Amino acid sequence: MKLSDQQIEDLSGQGFLILPELFSVDEVDLVKSRLPALFAEEHPANIIEHSSKVVRTSMGLHLRDDIFSRLVRHPRLIEPIRQIYSEPLYVQQAKVNVKAAFSGEIWQWHYDFATHREEDGVEKSLAFNLHIFLDDVTEFNGPLYFIPQSHKYGEHQASLDTLSTSYPLWVVSEDVVRELAELHGMVSAIGKKGTVLIFFDNLVHGSPNNMSPWDRSIFSLIVNPVSNACHRPTRPDFKHHQDLTPIESLSDDCQISA
């Protein structure tokens, strides 16, 4: 899996790239089939919603399940980032974010690097977030909202929000969002299940409540150059892994053929 020159230019310019239906329905269904058992575990890496008490995010999945252990080494996820970084990469985080029908709660406006900097001591915003849509993501079931080009502004001031949801998050202010959105607008990342989404660590984004009758689940892998690893971790390993073993890609059929 290689990105074209135009795709790399679009990613660099806008801060995100959508690759429609890069994974097949069979591949996605295999991944989803593992979730009920993982969500049922009494595990600290299963973060529960405040109100509905269903899983909001389930983390450290590549250490808990063989399917996810292979998925974090899938060439359709890893090889595009190797086009950007020639140096070794490690798995910084692997999770599934869930917005259950009718009850999935917001992710506030934020950029991931604020958390990685403040909580983990990561020095540079070099990580990439790689998503796979495990359900069709529409305008109605809680898609990610991006502010295009917001990654070009460096580091915005952020504050730790421990009250809005069950997941503590370093968020940006409404003034920052308003100013950036007036300059660059907003885009919702939607697509069929199997779609891949790539975005920069310092791209400002968020997502609304899921008021629809349709679930929305997304696999999220964050990869970071080994040279940029955390040096002051304060969070559990499942939130930022400290195993810096370089990722080695598997074969393209690693999911279905296993």
Instruction: Compute the distance between CA of residue 54 and CA of residue 51 in angstroms, rounded to an integer.
Output: 8
Pair 242, 169: CB distance under 8 Å: no
- Whether the predicted pLDDT of 258 surpasses 80: no
Average pLDDT over residues 186-203: 98
Pair 222, 120: CB distance under 8 Å: no
pLDDT score of 170: 96
**Termini Cα distance of the chain:** 20
- Whether the predicted pLDDT of 257 surpasses 80: no
Residue 114 — φ and ψ, nearest 5°? -60, -45
**CATH among 3.90.1640.30, 2.60.120.10, 2.60.120.620, 3.40.50.300 for 18-228:** 2.60.120.620
Average pLDDT over residues 220-247: 95
The rounded mean pLDDT for the chain is 95
Cα 184 versus chain centre, distance? 22
123-142: pLDDT as tens digits? 999 999 999 999 999 999 99
Domain residue limits, the chain: 18-228
Average pLDDT over residues 68-82: 97
pTM of the model: 0.96
- Whether the predicted pLDDT of 189 surpasses 70: yes
pLDDT score of 155: 84
Instruction: Compute the distance between CA of residue 23 and CA of residue 195 in angstroms, rounded to an integer.
Output: 7
Residue 40 — φ and ψ, nearest 5°? -80, -15
Average pLDDT over residues 224-228: 97
